[in-house]
Structure 1
Amino acid sequence: MKGQAALPYWLAGPGVLLALAFVAIPLVLTFGLSFSPFSDQTGIGEGFTLSNYGQIVSDDYFHEIFLRTIGLAAAVTVVSLLIGVPEAYVLSRLKPTMRAISLVIVLGPLLISVIVRTLGWTILLGNDGVINNALMAIGIISQPLRLMYSFTGMVIGLVHVLVPFMVLSVWTSLQKLDPATEQAAASLGAGSSTILWRIVLPQVLPGMLSGGLIVFAMSASAFATPAIIGGRRLKIVPTAIYDEFLSYLNWPLGAALAFILLVFVLAVSLGANRYIERRFRQVFQ
């Protein structure tokens, strides 16, 4: 009996070892590297220093980059919620055949490389791109909109990449929704808006929160899409980390940026989720 009770833990062993080898140990090594001194003449030195973190805390350049990163992640999360939640609700109400076709369409972007998708958006968002040419052709605008190398362009590109994760998270929660509760509310005279607000929304809130957490974390750590659409001037933390590691060879400063980003994203995500859950409990109780 003792062997049978311990069997699930042994089965989890390979996964735990992989997580330690490819996640935990690299994070620990990166954290240790962030305390190493660096010199342009000698490179990474020996010893212990807090100067890398001090530089990040005291430099307005890094403050701007972190604020832009968090603002980008928040904007992408909000837009993904506005698009993904209604889309998931519609998917859950479709017939099985149409639902399968719609899911393939929703998940289609995930089957294509993020680089290819982003390069496609450069064709659409450029000054001579499809969107600007179409808007100018029908007379809505007289000069091209600046969509490439802009904050708006990065939001559009990341939403296209990440909204399927929001749809899947909310759709999973909707699968657990009992249709009888909606029918009971309708039989008691509740309107469609009341049913959505009082019956459906509280039950899909876990899916919205998990999807928001996934989208926020992936937006804040995204590199390829912001680097291509945002360019080298409109930097966020991941592109700054890339520059510190590969352009300036300042690995300790890049490691410090990476660790601060990790801690900040975790703190903001968990704090926001707890606050939203508390507020929704107060509203729906």
Structure 2
Amino acid sequence: MTPGNRAKPWLLTAPALVLYATFLIVPLFMVLLISFFSFDFYGGIQRTFTWKNYVDIATDAYYYEVYARTFGVAAAVTAISIVLGSTEAYVLSRMRKPWKGLFLMIVLGPLLISVVVRTLGWALLFGSTGLISQALQLLGLSSGPVSLMYTNLGVTIALTHVLVPFMVIAVWASLQRINPSSEAAARSLGAGQLTVVRRVILPQIMPGIASGSIIVFSLAASAFATPEIIGGRRLKTVATSAYDEFLNTLNWPLGAALAIILLLATMAVLVSANRLIERRYSAVYS
């Protein structure tokens, strides 16, 4: 291969690489740089290198609680999305036209609506005078008003509604690659429907579940609008805490440090989970 031919792939991808670097790498580098600056209440941001922001986060129990809540909610949303999204995708894949396209649009329809609008809709349902509270009282399951606002459960439910379509899309893509004859072959050998799903379908859609889990977990961990509206001031997540540091206290270095730690922790969780899944997946089929 001549030098000119070797350079062609780089020339073709250069615009995408420049765009990627401009809108992702450079902003992240700037946030990382700011996280090492110091902050003075009267003097503002001081351009002096310091580890103080990271030390403050590492030595303050409040931030441990914030990160634990953030990743706990993200893990719960991911687990629920796996169950709901995989089931929905499997049922949709077995539907016939035109019902398949219709119900697929219903499942993916929330993606066409703003996250803020959807979250505000849940806020109306979660209030002490909302439909959920009234239904529980009407059924005799509660003796008084029930509010899911400012609770981890409320944030988890709202985030699941927002993010479960991403899991459906990922699992749906894996289901489309499955040969239908494999299910028929399993049934002809005497396997029941539950066995077919557990031993034939589930192993083949694991790549879709893994990719969907990565998307859902990362989006849930970094979500801002839903935790801010449903969680409010009582339940701080890393995203809302960083927002407060940037715009309320104007302590940009501390907010940047919170964001960088969130990014690194999310990447560590996702890489570890991906390696574990790949190891178990390869062990089954090796």
TM-score (norm 1): 0.96
**Shift, 1:54, TM fit:** 0.3
**Shift, 1:13, TM fit:** 2.2
Provide the rounded CA distance (Å) in 2 between the counterparts of 1:140 and 1:241. Answer: 39
Q: Give 5+ residue unaligned stretches, structure 1.
A: none
Secondary structure class of the residue paired with 1:141: coil
Query: 2:91 maps to what in 1?
Result: 90
Provide the rounded CA distance (Å) in 1 between the counterparts of 2:24 and 2:188. Answer: 52
Is 2:220 the counterpart of 1:219?
yes
Query: 2:24 maps to what in 1?
Result: 23
Matched-pair identity in %: 53
Is 2:243 the counterpart of 1:242?
yes
Provide the rounded CA distance (Å) in 1 between the counterparts of 2:223 and 2:56. Answer: 23
**Shift, 1:4, TM fit:** 6.1
Provide the rounded CA distance (Å) in 2 between the counterparts of 1:267 and 1:76. Answer: 18
Contact 1:80–1:162 (8 Å) recurs in 2: yes
Aligned length: 285
Provide the rounded CA distance (Å) in 2 between the counterparts of 1:136 and 1:281. Answer: 51
Is 2:80 the counterpart of 1:79?
yes
Provide the rounded CA distance (Å) in 2 between the counterparts of 1:263 and 1:211. Answer: 20
Provide the rounded CA distance (Å) in 2 between the counterparts of 1:20 and 1:65. Answer: 31
Aligned-partner residue type, residue 154 of structure 2: G
- The answer to which of 154-163 and 9-18 deviates more is 9-18
Provide the rounded CA distance (Å) in 1 between the counterparts of 2:12 and 2:120. Answer: 42
Provide the rounded CA distance (Å) in 2 between the counterparts of 1:140 and 1:106. Answer: 30
After superposition, what is the alpha-carbon deviation per residue over 1:212-243, rounded to whole angstroms, capped at 9, x for unaligned? 00000000000000000001121000000000
1:137-176 aligned at under 5 Å gives the runs: 137-176=138-177
**Shift, 1:6, TM fit:** 4.8
1:1-285 aligned at under 5 Å gives the runs: 6-282=7-283
TM-score (norm 2): 0.95
Contact 1:170–1:211 (8 Å) recurs in 2: yes
**Shift, 1:8, TM fit:** 4.4
Contact 1:198–1:284 (8 Å) recurs in 2: no
Contact 1:76–1:216 (8 Å) recurs in 2: yes
Q: What's the Cα RMSD here?
A: 1.5
After superposition, what is the alpha-carbon deviation per residue over 1:140-175, rounded to whole angstroms, capped at 9, x for unaligned? 222222311100000011000000000000000000
Provide the rounded CA distance (Å) in 1 between the counterparts of 2:282 and 2:230. Answer: 39
Q: Give 5+ residue unaligned stretches, structure 2.
A: none
Secondary structure class of the residue paired with 2:36: coil
Aligned-partner residue type, residue 245 of structure 1: F
Provide the rounded CA distance (Å) in 2 between the counterparts of 1:155 and 1:84. Answer: 15
